[in-house]
Chains A and B, each alone.
Chain A
């Protein structure tokens, strides 16, 4: 510690001493003799429990951080704001993207590190990408964070599997979302799912939360639900020493962290104010757990945390009705199912490839028409016929086309196209308050009919000359179930029927969750505005800044890195000298 810092610390502690006249004798002595009174404040506070690590959040980031900490010989507690555990993880399919994983190595699939880094660099920073640059155009921070994922994701998932917390299944056939890029030398093989996930792999999150939480409880890690952290506690030197939290019934609890407070509390999807101020584009909430309200941003900002990547989210189209209703069980539309189905905008015009992977499709809703002063694609309308209803309905992956008996409040029906258009208009009128009064253009129906005719022409040949639907491997991955048609080359398209009934749904852009927050180093240490770690404070997952920029590299590009950083964070936190050093 430099003389100046030391002097500042002493001054602060003296000021603190003067303020707290009732301080105990140890604190009095320490302050009087001019020692660095690290524990002065801690001595003043009454704590309800003491652990090496206090972990906030019980999704994958929190559970993994606590488990990895425990396996390093530490004690840990998990605090969860919601009444039930799992956060957004429990809603996820829980694919996890693990470069150069053990299953790949065993199968002889090469995944060289430089090419992996080129792939993520190109997607993360497309306008700065340079294959000949030593860091491929990434900033030092971005580069190190991406390296950390490559280096640590595999050992982390192996440890979780070995300990029985998260046995996995290698899904060798799943392609990366940009498998065609020349930088992607391992276009398939990086995706794992929980071993017990269903064959369709949509329920992995519930499996992972179950197995990881069971292991945590078995390892003696208490999980306290309904416990909302309201304050990060620091001692007089600025070291983080614990948290203050509120129970659902209003009681205040304080927990002391001997080594580290680790936040894994998710992003700010459900904080309208933060969304409005940091995200660029009209985003209608999303399918993160309802408890993802950006708590860590509000708690860490007073400590001087540096915010990064606040302008991006893991995005996904979502049904307007469920977003507005704040339906807790809303799922992002990972898969826009149906072959005899298309999206049009308020003018009845199609202007996107419906089968683009979700993050990319969601971005296309934000185009701004500066002459008409409107977002022409703010609300898109998915239209399908009875064929898709009969053969492509599924309750999984947030599909719009859902089976009978499941939640179909978002579905609009019409016996004919004119009837469907009228019904769409009526539905839109109900939501005028959140769409700036968006309604169908006067020539919507005529345009819709022309659009269907043009789409049907492409569907007959299997070649979409406008949007190239179904041409990339990932677009077929997300096609969902369709009626078998022998000899068809492009299973993503089939002509819409000339007769009804027809179905429609209103679609807007939303998030799976956001991906900005306090910046950390590669060991999860939260950095202040001078890039210095805030002692004792760590962060993992969507509550901290992702180094991925706008990119969604592949299925599982959220959870693979989260596990890697939980592992690195637990290692660093375990070695943290703590407040008694």
Chain B
């Protein structure tokens, strides 16, 4: 029966590291985004649109959500991909001046974690 505890330990280590990775992005999103956005499927829009499935979606489209004109003007025709999200999270007002969302994040590591989290919402 000796190998079993070792295997369990190994599995536990994998689980912990996965959880730690997941929780950083999730924790940052909770601290940065949850005040206005919901993340789960079917949760409805808040102050900002629901973010489930945001990756790969047209940037100015979220069924049932009315984007502000400055946002829609700047974002129409664009699609949420890694590059656009990175620019967006660096400084939303630089990408869509006058948009309702004010957010800026100078730290590329934090942006990267947030993007990974957003990508996982599917």
- Chain A residues near B (Cβ < 8 Å): 82-86, 90-91, 203, 206-207, 209-210, 213-214, 223, 225-226, 248-249, 289-291, 327-329, 395, 403-409
Contact A406 B64 (CB under 8 A): yes
Tell me which residues across on chain B come within 8 A of A83, comparing CB atoms. 28-29, 31-33, 105, 110
A84 close to B44 (CB less than 8 A): no
Q: Is the CB of A404 within 8 A of B44?
A: no
Cross-chain contact B100 with A405 (CB below 8 angstroms): no
B interface, over-half SS: loop
B37 in contact with A329 (CB, 8 Å): yes
Q: A206-B47, A407-B44, A409-B43 are in contact. Are A328 and B102 (CB under 8 A)?
A: no
Bound-state Cα–Cα, A82 to B33, Å:
9
Can you list 18 A-B pairs, Cβ within 8 angstroms, ordered by A?
A82-B32, A84-B32, A84-B35, A206-B101, A223-B104, A226-B28, A248-B110, A249-B110, A291-B31, A327-B38, A328-B35, A329-B36, A329-B46, A329-B47, A405-B63, A406-B44, A407-B38, A407-B44
- 1/0 contact trace for B36-74 toward A, CB 8 Å? 111000011111100000000000000111000000000
Does B98 sit at the interface, judged by CB under 8 A?
yes
Contacts of B63 in A (CB 8 A): 405
Nearest A residue to B91 via CB reads: A217
Not counting A206-B102, A225-B32, A290-B34, a sample of 7 additional A-B residue pairs whose C-beta atoms are within 8 angstroms of each other reads A82-B31, A90-B102, A203-B100, A248-B31, A248-B110, A249-B110, A405-B64
List B residues 1-37 near A (Cβ within 8 Å). Answer: 27-29, 31-37
Closest A-B pairs by Cβ, 3 of them: A405-B64, A83-B32, A329-B46
Bound Cα distance A552, B43 (Å): 33
Closest to A223 in B: B104
CB atoms of A213 and B102 under 8 A apart: yes
Q: Check A328 against B36 for contact (C-beta < 8 Å).
A: yes
B93 within 8 A of A: yes
Question: Is B102's CB under 8 angstroms from A91's CB?
Answer: no
Residues of A within 8 Å of B43, CB to CB, are 407, 409
Query: Do A210 and B93 touch across chains, with their CB atoms under 8 A apart?
Result: yes
Residue B102 contacts which of A203, A209, A290, A405 (CB distance < 8 angstroms)? A209
Known: A83-B28, A83-B32, A328-B36. A210 touches B46 (CB 8 A): no
Kindly state the separation between the CA atoms of A105 and B100 in the bound complex, as whole angstroms: 32
Q: Are B45 and A407 in contact (CB under 8 A)?
A: yes
Residues in chain A near residue B35, CB distance under 8 A: 82, 84, 90-91, 289-290, 328-329
A-chain residues with CB within 8 Å of residue B27 when the two chains form the complex: 248
Residues of A within 8 A of B45 (CB): 395, 405-407
**Chain B residues closer than 8 Å to A408, beta-carbon distance:** 44
Complex Cα gap A163–B103 (Å):
22
Q: Which residue of B28, B44, B100 contacts A206 across the interface (Cβ within 8 Å)?
A: B100
Q: Nearest-CB distance from B60 to chain A (Å)?
A: 16
Q: Please state if B102 and A84 are interface contacts (CB–CB under 8 Å).
A: yes
